[in-house]
Amino acid sequence: MSKKLKKRLKRIVTGALLYLVAVLSSHFIPNLSGTVELVLFLIAYFVMGGNIVKAAVKNIGHGQIFDENFLMTIATVGAFLIGEYPEAVAVMLFYQVGEWFQSYAVGRSRKSIAELMDIRPDYANVLRDGEEREVSPDEVAIGEHIVVKPGERIPLDGTVVKGASSLDTMALTGESVPRDVATGEEVISGCVNLSGVLEVKVNKVFGESTVAKILELVENAGSKKSEAEHFITKFARYYTPMVVICAALLAVLPPLFIGGEWSVWIYRALSFLVISCPCALVISIPLSFFGGLGGASRAGILIKGSNYLEALADAEIVVMDKTGTLTKGTFVVTKRVPVKGVSEAALLEAAAYAESYSNHPISQSLLEAYGKEVDKSLLSDVEEVAGYGVRAAWKGSFIYAGNAKWMEQQEVQPEVTEEVGTIVHVAKGKEYLGYLVIADEIKTDAKKAIDRLKEAGMKHIVMLTGDRKKTADSVAKELGIEEVYSDLLPKDKVDQVERLFTEKSAKGKLIFVGDGINDAPVLARADIGMAMGGLGSDAAIEAADVVIMTDEPSKIAKAIQISQRTLVIVKQNIIFAIGVKILILLLAAVGSATMWAAVFGDVGVAVIAILNAMRAMNIKAK
């Protein structure tokens, strides 16, 4: 509990004790002077609600009249004026109790986000001139070496050049099992080094590192409000003045036209004001979305705003890329097929040089299969064309590596093959050198992901891929995906998504899940774009609305489930709060509800709604 909350709790306890003294004195001290009784209740009132009255006066001075401070102040001052001292102090007491619960709930939900913010590294141990220096992470340049000791957080993305260790990646991915790393493997910033000392060569500056991008996503998430939050903000703006006018009419019109004592109708109008305070709605709804966002982040799903969390509940169509989304994206060269007169080694060498500047997983598999250092000084005019392949000038000629369409563009006739896997054709100038077969593995939870999406009632589950039909059909059949489109360029994927838009309902949403740079246009076009954070490209993560840090496709259904659960809680709170308030308002208007019922209609409903909203934070990681 924070110091501020403790201080407020002390004030509530002190005010409650003074209130008890005032109530006992008025009941058990015979001939207690009315003035002394009033003073006792006023002391308790100002200890409890002095800050509320002060805030109401201050806001009126700033032109902001109609807020909950104003409602509480005029209701309680009115109660004093008609001699209802105990009720006036009780309203302030329970209002403060409700406010304390509200602050506690918001603090708890912020804590879950703050735990994620703790991934921000404070320093980096950089090696300069043979010495280890502690500097700010944003002072370290690409190519410099940093040392990460056991217990320290990895400050920058890089490659391990010395040492081996286990990493705690839970804050980033939600995965509780430590990940082992050794020389040659890449590490991402924000993970905690658990055992050995690591020397890491920095690959990205701090502003471009994983931790900086995640923090930016989280920090901006709160600014994108859901439709329900926008509705409540507008609702409160008109609702509060309206209930003040209704209360004034209730206090004045009945005594003039129906009859009855003024004090009775004023009492009913004051009860009306206390009941109508919109705290339960104004606080519990944003808190529910905040809890859903925090719970999702703990499960390794970063959602960039409440609007996307809300939209996920209406998902009808899920469209997925294959490579890196349903398959691991860790490729292995399984076959080398050179044309006559070209050796396997020469074919692989040409492909490795052509692809050496690309970060695509297929390029990395070619470099791994080549197994030698690529002399990049021999390369020039390197160009990568998304959806086709790469080109580079090498040893006086252009070499090309890519799919059959890329070869045809270069006026090279590739060999037709029915091999299952990704085919990389290679040519030198107009001379065709042969092709390599590269295989990918299906992710272990991909089948479970498709099964869960079917259970969730998706109208369409579609796989779009730039791979050949035979490879795409093989993967789709194994996973149980019935709708698959292959040999697609980035533009073709956008066209397919446009077509699928016509097949969803007006309220329904289309989700696209991808990971590569070529997926960025479709991620931006879809109602909700999801990117695989671990393997995904920076462009894909930037364009996406939701980032799955664990690279597990089963988290797609998990995100939809979190959204649906959060919206159920939001709807429960709206129906409960409005329903109970309307009931007690009607009872108060006809004189059947006392100020005590009004206190329950305000504070009791708010506390119950807040406690219900806090359930949105309880999300299981798996």
CA distance to 33, 80, 223, per residue, from 86 (Å): 16, 9, 42
Pairing of strands 315-321, 509-514: parallel
pLDDT of 486-496, one tens digit each?
877 767 788 88
Residues 449, 305: contact at Cβ < 8 Å?
Answer: no
Does residue 199 carry a pLDDT above 60? yes
Active site residue 67: no
Return the percentage of the chain with pLDDT > 90, whole number.
Answer: 17
606: exposed, middle or buried (C-beta count within 10 Å: 0-12, 13-18, 19+)?
buried
In the set 67, 314, 321, 515, the catalytic residue is 321
Does residue 369 carry a pLDDT above 60? yes
Q: Is the dihedral of CA 541, 155, 158, 422 positive or negative?
A: negative
pLDDT class for 539, splitting at 50, 70, 90? low
Q: Which of 149-158, 327-336, 432-441 has the lowest mean pLDDT?
A: 327-336
In this structure, the number of other CB atoms found within 10 A of the CB of residue 560 comes to 23
pLDDT of 456-487, one tens digit each?
889 899 998 877 787 788 889 989 998 999 87
pLDDT class for 175, splitting at 50, 70, 90? low
User: How many angstroms separate the CA atoms of 186 and 13, rounded?
Assistant: 55
pLDDT at res. 61: 82
Return the percentage of the chain with pLDDT > 70, whole number.
Answer: 87
pLDDT at res. 483: 92
pLDDT of 206-226, one tens digit each?
888 877 776 666 556 555 566
pLDDT class for 232, splitting at 50, 70, 90? low
Nearest to 528, CA basis, from 145, 224, 142, 96? 224
Does residue 114 carry a pLDDT above 70? no
Whats the size of the chain, residue-wise?
Answer: 622
pLDDT class for 621, splitting at 50, 70, 90? low
pLDDT of 34-62, one tens digit each?
889 999 999 999 998 888 888 888 888 88
Of 599 and 20, more confident: 20
Does residue 121 carry a pLDDT above 70? yes
pLDDT of 547-578, one tens digit each?
888 788 999 999 999 999 999 998 898 888 88
Residues whose CB falls within 8 Å of the CB of residue 609, separated by 6 or more in sequence, listed in order: 280, 281, 283, 284, 573, 576, 577
pLDDT class for 426, splitting at 50, 70, 90? very high
Q: Kind and range of the H or E element at 440?
A: none
User: How many angstroms separate the CA atoms of 516 and 490, rounded?
Assistant: 10
**C-alpha torsion angle, residues 551, 554, 556, 558 (rounded to 10):** -120
pLDDT at res. 223: 57
Residues whose CB falls within 8 Å of the CB of residue 510, separated by 6 or more in sequence, listed in order: 315, 316, 317, 318, 319, 497, 500, 501, 504, 526, 527, 528
Residues 272, 250: contact at Cβ < 8 Å?
Answer: yes
pLDDT class for 312, splitting at 50, 70, 90? very high
Pairing of strands 422-428, 198-202: unpaired
Q: Where are the alpha helices (DSSP H) in 136-226?
A: 170-173, 210-221
> Which residue do the tokens 């991915």 mark?
173
